[in-house]
Amino acid sequence: MGKRILVPVDGSDQSRAACDFAMREHPQAEFVLLHVINPTEAGYSAGASFPAASEEWYEHAKEDAAALLEELEEEGRDLDAAITTDTVVGKPARAIVEYAAEHDVDRIVMGSHGRSGVTRILLGSVAENVVRNATVPVTVAR
């Protein structure tokens, strides 16, 4: 049986490059494209303190995730890759590590970072946390 590779995607150029890299480097693998909806991002939106605004933010986040995963899945089909997709809610680094442990993943391939500037400094590097905590090999693509 081939490898099962988890590719966390957030829509950034880095995650797209990691997805492309993984599929070209491991053409026989099964790929799981994972999008993590980070609930703390709802706190940064205007009106997030109102329950209706939070629900609206979450619905919008789910729609964005579905559109992103569908787009990446189509691109993967062009490479004849075996792809499944999933969306989870949580802190990205923790969610990625837990997903890999719970879903029989052999490797994680991810972008170097999806944030830039002050948010990257304040929030830390998701890739760095995944590398430190994952129980499977992690490839960080730049």
The list of the chain residues with pLDDT below 70 reads: 1-2, 43-53, 114-124
| CA 37-39-41 angle, 5° bins | 95
Write out the residue range of the structural domain in which residue 97 sits.
4-140
Residue 1: predicted pLDDT: 47
Total structural domains in the chain? Answer: 1
The strand order across the sheet containing 30-37 reads 82-89, 30-37, 4-8, 107-111, 138-141
CATH number at residue 99: 3.40.50.620
Structural contact between residues 141 and 112, judged by C-beta atoms closer than 8 angstroms: yes
Residue 79: predicted pLDDT: 85
Measured between its terminal Cα atoms, the distance across the chain in Å is 28
Residue 60: predicted pLDDT: 94
